[in-house]
Amino acid sequence: MTNLYAITIISFLIFLSFSFYEKKILQKKNNHQIPNLKSKFNPLFYYVILLLYVLFTQGQYLNYETIDWDTNSYLVSSQDVLRGNLPYENQWESKQTLFYYIYAILILISNGNLIIFKLLNDFLLYLLSIILFLIVKVLTNDQLKSFLASILFLTLMSQPWSSTEFSEIYSLIFISLGFYIIISRKLNKQKLFFIGVLISFATLVNVGSALFVFPFLFSKKITSNLKNFIYFCFGGIVPHLLFFIIYFSRNLIDIYWSTLFVIPNAYRGEQMNFVREFINFLRSLNDYNQFLYLIFIFLLSSLFADFLTSRKLTSKINMLKNTYLQFLFISILFYYLASHGYYHHLIFFIFFLPLLIKNISGKISTMILILLISISSGTILFSKGNLSFTNISNLNLIYENYPLNKLAKEIDSKFDDDYEILAFDSLLILYYLDKPNFSYIVHPTNHNEEFITDNLRKLNLITKDEPERLVNLEPDVIMCSNNSIIQCEIYDYKKNYYELDSLVYRQDPLLQFYDNQTFQFRVFLKES
């Protein structure tokens, strides 16, 4: 950690000194000598490169059956939507309603194939990179900077933790589209209404996205005119109103309200040490790719140099009022308020950070930026590209050999009729077999979260000792692990159960299917 501090301080001072000097020189010349490649390449060229880059950075993880087990819970909950149930009606997960419908659509398109589902999410990441390209193009009128920003974003998203299946990705699509529209086009009432709808959609995917309404409200295009403000607000209200009516008509308004507002607010109250967790993120970024970390320092130093070289206080204040900086500050605030220190809460920050490329001025600074991004992306492609190519070339083979996929087939072969599964681990089994969890709470660890269980008990949706009650109902299959919320030696207190030999599915010494070497699970079947 001491080395990281030293690297950070020294690099920041060097970059700051250089940026400050160059910006002062450019101020005197009154000319930002920035190379512009917009006349040399068609945008389609950059779009193709970005698509290939997504495939060769995200493809390295296709052999992992599970990157983050939260996504398995989302898959199970979304499958239940496809059975005709509303979110939270039969299976409870903590995300907002629209998120599960998006998942459900992707499941339908992929026909339930997990590999195809992952590739579809990678394509959504690609769409985000295109939107970022367009945003930077409007801000700078420079295709080179636009391309660099998109490559930087995708490189940051190539880290092992950054699954493309997180809710932040979906929410970002709506927020970034709204951002692009408001900075690039003359607004009319239809567009204002549409921007409001987009922001509403974002909150119906991830409720914390409501924070990003503030940069829109700070925009004079919206707040300077009462009619504009009304159209924007009306667009934001309509989607929420429709879901409110739907849940009210199904007598589910209590669980809808609790999941949308009450539980997220309680979740936010469990604060982690924000500074410490952010430093841990920076350390992991440096461990992943030192050049990426240097880019982070370089962009911040350039922003700080801009602030220092602004001659008047009003200029400094106006700089901080820039919309793209507001989005960046809000993304940091989102990470703070989301608490818990999970890295995927930084996806918003990772998306808006490349917008600081707008502040890079001068030929030498631009060349340094190109060099750093080229080295960081090049080293990742060099180290991971071959694995990505191998995975993409063997999609069917990988899918058929996913351990839990094979285990699901073995479990299914043990039953002639319908059967029930209680899963306190390895929820992908439920997805492969297209079955709901026997537990109303889908994600196992949520049974340990008092702010969740207390609210659900108040609504009479679960009991005080819910896990034990579920086991006592004796479902046909119980899946657990030594880390489960129940005692996993099921046959010790349930004599009519036997353990399936699943050792072969739990062993992965080469880490071909699990990114966690300690991964384990056990399967118990009820005696027929």
> How would DSSP label each residue in 391-402?
HHHTHHHHHHH-
Domain boundary among 362, 391, 420: 391
Question: What average pLDDT does the segment 290-300 reach?
Answer: 93
Q: Is the pLDDT of residue 31 over 60?
A: no
Whether residues 364 and 430 share a domain: the answer is no
pLDDT per position as a tens digit, 192-206: 999 999 999 999 999
Q: pLDDT band at 32, cuts 50/70/90? A: very low
The verdict on residue 396 lying in a domain is no
Domain boundary among 359, 391, 423: 391
State residue 110's pLDDT score.
Answer: 96
**For residue 37, what are the CA distances in angstroms to 41, 107, 288, 341, 370?**
7, 40, 30, 39, 13
State residue 311's pLDDT score.
Answer: 64
Whether residues 420 and 522 share a domain: the answer is yes
pLDDT per position as a tens digit, 203-256: 999 999 999 999 999 888 898 889 999 999 999 999 999 999 999 999 999 999
376 contacts 289 by C-beta, under 8 angstroms: yes
The residues that bridge with 524 in the sheet, in sequence order, are 478, 499
Q: Is the pLDDT of residue 317 over 90?
A: no
Whether residues 302 and 157 share a domain: the answer is yes
Q: pLDDT band at 510, cuts 50/70/90? A: low
Whether residues 446 and 308 share a domain: the answer is no
184 contacts 139 by C-beta, under 8 angstroms: no
Nearest to 278 by CA among 339, 357, 211, 212: 339
Whether residues 374 and 347 share a domain: the answer is yes
Whether residues 165 and 314 share a domain: the answer is yes
**For residue 104, what are the CA distances in angstroms to 109, 403, 455?**
9, 23, 26
519 contacts 506 by C-beta, under 8 angstroms: yes
Whether residues 418 and 378 share a domain: the answer is no
Nearest to 479 by CA among 514, 512, 432: 432
Q: pLDDT band at 29, cuts 50/70/90? A: low
Q: The tokens of 127 are what?
A: 């769409």
Whether residues 292 and 178 share a domain: the answer is yes
Whether residues 30 and 178 share a domain: the answer is yes
Sign of torsion over alpha carbons 89, 91, 96, 101: negative
Whether residues 130 and 251 share a domain: the answer is yes
pLDDT per position as a tens digit, 396-419: 999 998 999 999 999 999 999 999
The verdict on residue 177 lying in a domain is yes
Q: Which of 65-69, 453-457, 485-489 has the lowest mean pLDDT?
A: 65-69
Whether residues 422 and 453 share a domain: the answer is yes
The verdict on residue 53 lying in a domain is yes
Question: What average pLDDT does the segment 481-509 reach?
Answer: 84
Whether residues 283 and 333 share a domain: the answer is yes
Q: Which residue has the higher pLDDT, 102 or 186?
A: 102
Number of domains in the chain: 2
- Determine how many CB atoms are found less than 10 A away from the CB of residue 278: 16
The verdict on residue 397 lying in a domain is no
Domain with 493 in it: 402-526
Q: Is the pLDDT of residue 39 over 50?
A: no
Domain boundary among 391, 420, 448: 391
